[in-house]
């Protein structure tokens, strides 16, 4: 799912003029960075990539007599760092979702918690602040409804806990506020 919070309408499938890309994993997020073409034109205010530090569906790099070749987690990280080394304003916020032991379907609320905390920590006037309470309301208002009020309450509590876990994970990063690579 793509979510854009913008003052102006955005059209097309390539993420131009966005500030954050939220990827399910490193390969999905890399597609958003790589397919944009000219980084400075596509992301004039820079870009922050938030993703699980995991490769769920690797992208085929080459196919040869030796068989298919895919990128590993370390190779993806190297490619992202090469974009930074070229002088582009790219920040990476990668998390290890597996250590939290939540079902994969809950990665969205976790990521939104990471993003809300990151925006709060950055205090960068180029970006809107996504208040924690408003982000939480957005998560809870979009939880699928069951026919049982007790089941609804349970699912909402779980989504709240997952969001809070993502928020706390980002807040616990002990590095510099303007770090380019944040591994949580």
Which residues lie across from 167 on neighbouring strands?
Answer: none
In degrees rounded to 5, what are phi and psi of residue 64? Answer: -145, -170
Kindly state the greatest CA–CA separation across the chain. 57
Arithmetic mean of pLDDT, 147-159: 91
* pLDDT value for 62: 64
Q: What are 11-36's pLDDT values in tens digits?
A: 555 567 788 889 888 888 888 888 87
Q: What are 58-83's pLDDT values in tens digits?
A: 666 666 677 667 888 898 999 999 99
More confident of the two residues 177 and 95: 95
Q: Domain map of the chain by residue range?
A: 20-183
């Amino acid at each position: 799912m793509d979510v854009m919070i913008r003052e102006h309408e955005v059209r097309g499938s390539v993420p131009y003029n966005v500030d954050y890309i939220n990827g399910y994993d490193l390969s999905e997020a890399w597609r958003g960075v790589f397919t944009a073409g000219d980084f400075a034109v596509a992301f004039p205010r820079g870009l922050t990539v938030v993703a699980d530090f995991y490769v769920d569906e690797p992208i085929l790099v080459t196919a040869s007599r030796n068989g298919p070749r895919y990128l590993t987690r370390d190779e993806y990280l190297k490619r992202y760092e090469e974009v930074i080394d070229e002088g582009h304003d790219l920040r990476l916020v990668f998390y290890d979702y597996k250590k939290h032991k939540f079902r994969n379907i809950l990665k969205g609320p976790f990521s939104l918690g990471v993003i809300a905390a990151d925006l709060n920590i950055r205090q960068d006037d180029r970006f809107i602040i996504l208040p924690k309470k408003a982000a939480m309301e957005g998560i809870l208002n979009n939880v699928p409804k069951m026919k049982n009020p007790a089941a609804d309450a349970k699912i909402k509590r779980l989504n709240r806990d997952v969001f809070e876990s993502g928020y706390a994970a980002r807040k616990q990063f002990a590095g510099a506020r303007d770090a380019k690579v944040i591994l949580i």
